[in-house]
Amino acid sequence: MPSEIKILVLSDRIASLEAIQNSLNKLGATGLTSLYQPQMFQALGQSRFDLLVLDFDQIPEGLKEGVHYLKEDLHSQDMPLVIITGEQGQLDHFLNEFGANNLDFVLKPVPEDYLIGKLDFWIRYLMQRKEVFAQTAPAHPQVRPGSVSADILLVEDDEVNQQLTQLLLEQINLHADVAATGLEALDAIKNKEYGLILMDIELPDLNGIECTRRIRQDEALHHKPAVPIVALTGNEAERDRQQCLKAGMNDHIAKPLNGHDLEIVVKKYLLKNLPQLAQVGEGHMFGDPSATSLLDYLSRELRPALWSLVQTFIDKLPRNLERLEQALSSSDGDGLKQAANHLRGSCSSFWAVAMTVLNQELNPLLDMIMDLETLETLGREDNLKAAREVLDRVNQETDSLLKLLQSQITSPVA
């Protein structure tokens, strides 16, 4: 069904949005249509899209960076991009930025039937690709009901995300042991049986993919039941999902975690095999089922517990910044990417915490998140010269953020 294909449509003109939406409606498809605003891509959170349609006469500020964010951090590079514009010269800009793969260019004025034909082509292409992925995705280990443990192992190196995940689980009377590295996780499962493992992908020693492979190898060697392993990833690219499945993971959810995603995996992989805990999973464990972000699940009643996360974030910032400096000083592009990814994940989770306890926008934190994303890209591209200027900005933003947080800790919001 076309409705299974998620489409994002951005333009600088309301009339264009309406015309594209009308074409989608005639195809039985739906799309999220919006007037473009700078920094709006981060506001989309971890929302996933299969097709991106852009209708602009001039390329606005921040658009290319936002498209990179969607294609590289949240999705596959293969996500089709349809550009509708009145200037032929704009094609070169997008070709240079994103390459010709899955890039479609439509020159205005666009007859309605031609636009419908273009959209129909890409919708059919995406539906066929989903069918191929579904047929060729490797089968992950099946969970054996019966002797299943109620214990959860959280493999996560960031202390803010550790505490936040534990806090969410405590709301439904569940507890997680914590392993900060992949090697610690392997030691933990030697000494204890777990009913669910929440596995971060980016870990400082043994990454989540390799850790999972070793767990599955040990289970096969000793004929153990397969414990469900759910990946915690900072992006949702299709290539990463396939890597998780190939390694033997059962599922994946994006960080920052929210109650809805956590509820799904807890019910699907833990509670259904534990009759004694069935009552825990009745109804919607985290309240409003329509809530979609972490912020929606952090109520004002949790403020006392969340203040400790504010202090944890402050305490860990110097070490996280030191990792960035060390990577840059040693010309380690991959290390810079990993350090920036780690801190950006921590900042993204912390934003929801800070919004709950302070009830105000933290502009320095939002700027940090965007610049850390840029550092990830520069590290991936090994462009360390440009990274120096961005890291200097991150340090300035950190100073501004710490001053704001310290003032709130001195006289916290009631």
Task: For residue range 239-263, list pLDDT tens digits in order.
Answer: 566 778 878 888 888 777 766 778 7
Whether residue 287 is found in the same domain as residue 304: no
Whether residue 282 is found in the same domain as residue 332: no
At residue 304, the pLDDT reads: 67
Angle at CA of residue 399, ends 395 and 402, nearest 5°: 130
Whether residue 158 is found in the same domain as residue 287: yes
In contact, 106 and 115? CB cutoff 8 Å: yes
Altogether, the residues listed in the chain come to a count of 414
- Cross-strand pairs, 230: 198, 251
At residue 169, the pLDDT reads: 82
Whether residue 74 is found in the same domain as residue 102: yes
At residue 74, the pLDDT reads: 46
In a domain, 386, yes or no: yes
Number of structural domains in the chain: 3
User: Letter for the amino acid at 303?
Assistant: R
Q: What CATH number has the domain bearing residue 191?
A: 3.40.50.2300
At residue 363, the pLDDT reads: 87
As a dihedral over the C-alpha atoms of residue 387, residue 391, residue 393, residue 397, rounded to 10 degrees, the angle is: 150
Whether residue 201 is found in the same domain as residue 251: yes
Q: What CATH number has the domain bearing residue 366?
A: 1.20.120.160
Contacts of 177 (CB under 8 A, 6+ apart): 151, 152, 153, 154, 188, 192, 194
Last residue of a domain, one of 242, 260, 292: 292
d(CA 305, CA 316) in angstroms, rounded, equals 18
Structural domain boundaries enclosing 180: 152-292
Last residue of a domain, one of 253, 276, 292: 292
Whether residue 288 is found in the same domain as residue 159: yes
Whether residue 283 is found in the same domain as residue 174: yes
Whether residue 173 is found in the same domain as residue 218: yes
Whether residue 234 is found in the same domain as residue 312: no
User: Letter for the amino acid at 104?
Assistant: D
At residue 191, φ and ψ (nearest 5 deg) are: -105, -5
Last residue of a domain, one of 103, 136, 169: 136
At residue 204, the pLDDT reads: 80
What would the 3-class secondary structure string for the chain be? Answer: CHHHCCEEEEECCHHHHHHHHHHHHHCCCCEEEEECCCCHHHHCCCCCCCEEEEECCCCCCCHHHHHHHHHHHHCCCCCCEEEEECCCCHHHHHHHHHCCCCEEEEECCCCHHHHHHHHHHHHHHHHHHHHHHHHHCCCCCCCCCCCCCCCEEEECCCHHHHHHHHHHHHCCCCCEEEECCHHHHHHHHHHCCCCEEEEECCCCCCCHHHHHHHHHHHHHHCCCCCCCEEEEECCCCHHHHHHHHHHCCCEEEECCCCHHHHHHHHHHHCHHHCHHHHHHHCCCCCCCCCCCCHHHHCCHHHHHHHHHHHHHHHHHHHHHHHHHHHHHHCCCHHHHHHHHHHHHHHHHHHHHHHHHHHCCCCHHHHHHHHHHHHHHHHHHHCCHHHHHHHHHHHHHHHHHHHHHHHHHHHCCCC
Contacts of 119 (CB under 8 A, 6+ apart): 20, 23, 24, 27, 29, 53, 82
In a domain, 402, yes or no: yes
CA 358 to each of CA 97, 349, 362, 363: distance values in angstroms, whole numbers, following the listed order: 39, 14, 9, 13
Whether residue 158 is found in the same domain as residue 277: yes
End-to-end CA distance of the chain: 50
In a domain, 106, yes or no: yes
In a domain, 305, yes or no: yes
Q: Tokens representing 357?
A: 């306890």
- Cross-strand pairs, 11: 35, 55
In a domain, 146, yes or no: no
d(CA 100, CA 102) in angstroms, rounded, equals 6
Q: Pick from 280, 215, 221, 276: which is nearest to 250 by CA? A: 215
In a domain, 141, yes or no: no
In a domain, 144, yes or no: no
In a domain, 145, yes or no: no
pLDDT tens, residue order, the chain (414 aa): 566 788 889 988 888 888 999 998 888 887 888 888 876 766 665 566 788 899 988 777 778 777 776 666 544 456 788 889 887 777 777 777 776 677 888 888 888 889 999 899 888 888 887 776 555 444 445 544 444 567 899 999 988 889 888 888 877 778 899 999 999 999 999 888 898 999 998 888 788 888 998 999 888 888 888 899 999 876 555 556 677 887 888 888 877 776 677 877 888 888 765 655 544 445 444 455 554 555 555 655 566 677 788 888 888 899 999 999 999 999 998 889 889 988 988 888 888 788 777 766 688 898 999 999 899 889 888 898 899 999 999 999 999 998 888 877 655 444
At residue 3, the pLDDT reads: 61
Whether residue 312 is found in the same domain as residue 370: yes
Contacts of 227 (CB under 8 A, 6+ apart): 143, 189, 193, 194, 195, 196, 197, 215, 219
Q: Tokens representing 411?
A: 């006289």
Whether residue 322 is found in the same domain as residue 208: no
CA 345 to each of CA 67, 176, 200, 254, 342: distance values in angstroms, whole numbers, following the listed order: 19, 20, 11, 10, 5
